[in-house]
Structure 1
């Protein structure tokens, strides 16, 4: 019984407290407050659509709506408030003085408002300090409540912004990944023909930055590997060749799979000696892997066409010269390098 009685007593007290808090935060003046403010305020008529003040404009007066309505627009995506008769606004301008307005105030209909400045407010205090003290308490609570709402809105906006940035990061990452997929050979990870074309465009956009040497590499008897050991073994051979080319190329060079079992290596900085060394390295690495192969081949012999590049030429000219040298290497039995006849040095 005692517990039940205590509960019945507490609930009305809690309800009274909540009602009192709602009254404090509410922006409508009581009858007594409105009568007091009317005694000292000056009437100001407004036409529908007329602005009382603009956001960020300094002000030192507060207003009470007598008739009509006022719309407070805080800008951006904040909630627009519409106030009616006996509601007040702009009180911070009165209490602080020259306070930047936080919203645009516009009459929604033909309206009449009371305007009070600091001198008017002082007369209010002298006339009824108790009523004004209650009004100030309610004003402070209202400001705190509005600030809490604003903080929640800003936090939500910040969260939305962080989400948007995260989505932008993911999208950028996906676009970058897609771009790499477009220019990259899926099996070997080397550049494909599109990647090679983009690389050549980038080189031509920087004057004097064209590649200087080209190796055209083709697998010998690759069809036999596929026929005898299957396409998985063929894929493994192509991946091994790609790894060898990748180990030769530096950051400025480009190793590419042109298609099938044909590869190329473009060297940005090269002379006859460095091209000879690169081709011999590839042949040596291939021979080394072949010596370690058991029943399943990990690599197959390659033929290499070598040429120095004329920076004034284009890819079709370079390819034709290297391809002719590659053909000669194949005709001589493969598993060797051969220089283009137009090369300045033919070792």
Structure 2
């Protein structure tokens, strides 16, 4: 083997040797000499299964060495729980710095025996074998640093997972909101569809004194002729124009809806006879304005409107029946007009 090859093998082996040495330093198991020394000064304590030695966050100045059984260290915050067995130790910071807040809770998970050592015991250990204790302290400090690094990595990983979960939750919430809007919205016009109208009425019933007071039922005149002569794209543009006019009339608490085909409705939350008359006349005027400006392919067609004041104590089916009857009368009279329901208090 060449010198270069031997050197390469040495370089590959050295990291492994360093890792093994580091593992030995930070390992929480006492050597035979340390175990004998600690047993000389520690006091044995029996712990029935389930006994808590201390809780996370409580102050303490005592170190423990496990003689038999198993002790569980719980660092909380969804971090990894450690299980320690015979000759392993914990709580050593109590000997080094005195009273301090425990970073983990300690509980016997089976019948166990531990050695307890306090600060006075630590002084006696120093007097008895300072060299052995110095090596133990070096291992202890390295172990504390290593444990803290592990905890930091775990916390960072948990925070990353939490950020990822929050991002996923945001995306899911956005998708649900978008889906909910699609379910209640007419795709062509952007107005409410029948389901959106039903949900709107459901919300109104849930709120006291918030039922609509007026209804306009709107139907396009000669809409089939637009489709037959100019095609369905022209028909779609007509429906979108009517929708835009209704959208401009509706205030925030009102709702404009495409009921299907070329039939629309406008429910007004706060309305009286004058405001309903004004809204219907505005729709007719806006339609006439678009018709007058059209050249060739129509952007809109005339509409008929059934108008009624509604009783909040009744339901949609009765409101619709009254407005539909008024709409039928408007159609029978030639369309391109508004007509009031006979149940209105007065006919303009």
| TM-score, structure 1 as length reference | 0.89
Counterpart of 1:201?
Answer: 202
Point out where structure 1 has 5 or more consecutive residues left out of the alignment.
none
- Following TM superposition, by how much is the alpha carbon of 1:45 offset from its aligned partner in structure 2, in angstroms? 4.4
Alpha-carbon spacing, 1:25–1:295, altered in 2? closer, same or farther (3 Å): same
Alpha-carbon spacing, 1:340–1:22, altered in 2? closer, same or farther (3 Å): same
- Following TM superposition, by how much is the alpha carbon of 1:246 offset from its aligned partner in structure 2, in angstroms? 0.3
Is 1:51 aligned with 2:51? yes
Q: Deviations over 1:71-103 (max 9, x none)?
A: 434346432333334322121233333444413
SS at 1:187's partner residue?
Answer: coil
Q: Distance in 1 between matches of 2:81 and 2:41?
A: 29
Alpha-carbon spacing, 1:291–1:18, altered in 2? closer, same or farther (3 Å): same
Q: Deviations over 1:271-305 (max 9, x none)?
A: 22222221111111111111222332211110111
Alpha-carbon spacing, 1:278–1:32, altered in 2? closer, same or farther (3 Å): same
Q: Distance in 1 between matches of 2:176 and 2:14?
A: 61
Which deviates further from its counterpart, 332-341 or 51-60?
51-60
Counterpart of 1:105?
Answer: 107
**2:94·2:119 contact (CA, 8 Å) conserved in 1?**
no
Point out where structure 2 has 5 or more consecutive residues left out of the alignment.
none
Q: Distance in 1 between matches of 2:313 and 2:90?
A: 76
Alpha-carbon spacing, 1:73–1:270, altered in 2? closer, same or farther (3 Å): closer
- Following TM superposition, by how much is the alpha carbon of 1:261 offset from its aligned partner in structure 2, in angstroms? 0.6
The alignment covers a number of residue pairs equal to 345
- RMSD of aligned C-alpha atoms? 2.6
Alpha-carbon spacing, 1:260–1:65, altered in 2? closer, same or farther (3 Å): same
Q: Distance in 2 between matches of 1:106 and 1:91?
A: 18
Q: Deviations over 1:55-78 (max 9, x none)?
A: 335433212234454443434643
Q: Distance in 1 between matches of 2:22 and 2:311?
A: 86
SS at 2:226's partner residue?
Answer: helix
Counterpart of 2:94?
Answer: 93
**1:24·1:138 contact (CA, 8 Å) conserved in 2?**
yes
Alpha-carbon spacing, 1:305–1:144, altered in 2? closer, same or farther (3 Å): same
Q: Distance in 2 between matches of 1:12 and 1:189?
A: 70
Is 1:251 aligned with 2:226? no
| TM-score, structure 2 as length reference | 0.89
